Structure 1
Amino acid sequence: MPIFYHENRDKSEASKRLYARYEMAHTAVDFLAAIAFLVGSVLFFDDATQYTATWLFVIGSLFFAMKPTLRLTREIRLYRMGKLDTLAKRAES
């Protein structure tokens, strides 16, 4: 089954655990990005803290870039898990 199919996450207990771990990481990255942008936005009100604010926007942008990377990595791992399960079933037959 190709990547990005919901059925891949429910194939086994291991795939369910993997999916849950990646969802937790994705949510944590969401929060970190939001916090970086929120604090950076507040710091832009004062000229003395604009340098720090700019860095927080860069860091927040990196966190936002991590989100699709996490999803793609998760889906590739789930896909590979399914392929290994198929191979194992064939070997048992």
Structure 2
Amino acid sequence: MPLFKPSTRRRYIADRRAYAMFELAYTTVDVSAAVLFVIGSIMFFSEAWQTAGTWCFLVGSICFALKPTLRIIREIRYVEDDDYEDLAKKFDQRD
């Protein structure tokens, strides 16, 4: 089962709690990044607040980097929960 295959998301809807937790984390990180970038942008209008605004941009950028990381963690978890032994067998057969 390849990573990021759309059918894997539908298959694991039955694991509602895990799916919901990943979606909640993804949305929280997304909103946090957007809010930090807006606040950082407003802070840049004043020279006195530019350092704080720079920190908001940095933390917002880290939040944006967390988004794909969360997706990868979720996809790997789904692959491992399904049939990672079968995947290993398929990999061995290619050699």
Equivalent position of 1:29 in the other structure: 29
CA distance in 1, matches of 2:34, 2:11: 33
Structure with more relative contact order (C-alpha pairs < 8 Å, separation 6 or more): 1
Structure 2 Cα separation of the partners of residues 57 and 2 of structure 1: 34
**Residue 10 (structure 1) shift:** 3.4
Q: Please report the TM-score for the alignment, with normalisation by the length of structure 2.
A: 0.80
Partner Cα distance (2:11, 2:26) in 1? 21
Alignment match, 2:40: 40
Once the two structures are TM-superposed, the CA of residue 57 in structure 1 deviates from its matched residue by 0.3
Instruction: Indicate the percent of aligned positions where both proteins have the same amino acid.
Output: 44
Q: With the length of structure 1 as denominator, give the TM-score of the two structures.
A: 0.81
Does structure 2 conserve the Cα–Cα contact (< 8 Å) formed by 1:11 and 1:82?
no
Q: Which residue of structure 2 aligns with residue 53 of structure 1? A: 53
> Contact conserved, 1:34 with 1:60, CA < 8 A, in 2?
yes
Could you say which residue in structure 2 is the equivalent of 1:62?
62
Give the secondary-structure state (helix, strand or coil) at the position aligned to 1:11.
helix
Whether the 8 Å CA contact 1:8–1:82 is kept in 2: the answer is: no
Runs of 4+ aligned residues of structure 1 deviating over 6 Å after TM superposition are none
Superposed CA RMSD: 1.6
